Amino acid sequence: MIWEIESGIGKPDRYTKFPFYETRSELVGAMNGKLKAAPEISRLIRDEIKPYKGGNGLLYGLHDLDIVDKHRLLIPIVSIVELRGASGEDERGGRFKGP
């Protein structure tokens, strides 16, 4: 949504994002700079959606979960194409050896 709005009034960049801030005053300050040309959208976000702590608690909680997922969790991705020379033992002492 913000990308589309900024496309119509300016040029979005890699920092274009939906505005989430710690306080309402931080949100207001940031929106005065970015969405000055779209006051009705700015008012909707500021006064109805309220994406700041103490504003819309459920939305801000969802934002926090999203940040944790992207920035604090290490999600390993492994792709094994071929496994040679593997061996092991199961819980009953049975052994196995791969090619």
pLDDT at 36: 65
Averaged pLDDT for residues 16-30: 86
Domain layout of the chain by residue ranges: 2-74
Residue 86 token pair: 């593997």
With 0.85 as the threshold, say if the pTM is over it.
Answer: no
pLDDT value for 97: 81
Residue type at 71 in one-letter notation: H
Least Cα distance to 53 among 93, 24, 90, 82 occurs for 24
pLDDT tops 90 at residue 66: no
Q: What is the mean pLDDT of residues 7-11?
A: 64
